Structure 1
Amino acid sequence: MSDLFKKAISLGLGLTVVSKEKIEKIVDELVTRGELAPDESKALVNRLIERGEEEQGQFKSVIREQVDRILKELHVPTGSDVIALEQRIAALESKIAELESPQAE
């Protein structure tokens, strides 16, 4: 396998944005140039796609953590905070309606 291709693989995040077709094209070029055996090409494509998917998952996780941290720092309410407030408001409205309704004597 060429050193350039090994370096590209080791870049990590780069694989998260490379499509399957692009990976296949690069691997086919390596086979054409004799730098990779044809019977190894499919396994390499599968490994690269799998690694790209893993890295994409890790990247999404890091981004999600950063967004959560920033939202927390800005005191932006979460969905569960909003739901809890809606439930409290509904309970208070119910109590007010109960207090305002004419009492049966």
Structure 2
Amino acid sequence: MRNVLEKGLLLGIGLAVKSKEQIEMFVEDLVKKGEIKKEESNDLISELIQKGQQTQGQVDDMIKERMKIILNDLNLATKAEVDQLEKRVRQLEQQKQE
């Protein structure tokens, strides 16, 4: 399960990098076509990247929320629950030894 989550995270990072490259190529094409001035290109790139990051953040939040729902539906124990059970087992083992 952890491996799947890591792959999803890496995919998101890869998409962000690819998107930045695509944005730069898109803006460069606009400059070549004369639709924007070279001086405006850096501002446009920054603005588009910022909007992309905001969108990526929203997508990440939706994915996290969906993952919580999926994990909850699977009825898996949380780390806190496992830690609590381990503590309880240690206590019982100590009582048994006494």
* TM exceeding 0.5: yes
Q: Give 5+ residue unaligned stretches, structure 1.
A: 1-14, 99-105
Q: Give 5+ residue unaligned stretches, structure 2.
A: 1-14
User: CA RMSD for the aligned pairs?
Assistant: 1.7
Q: What is the aligned partner in structure 1 of residue 44 from structure 2?
A: 44
- Structure showing the higher helix proportion among its residues: 2
TM-score by length of 2: 0.77
TM-score by length of 1: 0.72
8 Å Cα contact 1:16-1:55 kept in structure 2 = no
Q: What is the aligned partner in structure 2 of residue 63 from structure 1?
A: 63
Residue 51 of structure 2 aligns to a residue whose secondary structure is helix
Aligned sequence identity (%): 40
In 2: Cα distance, 1:57 partner to 1:67 partner:
15
Q: What is the number of residues matched between the two proteins?
A: 84
Q: Deviating runs (4+, > 3 A) in structure 1?
A: 15-18
Residue 19 of structure 1 aligns to a residue whose secondary structure is helix
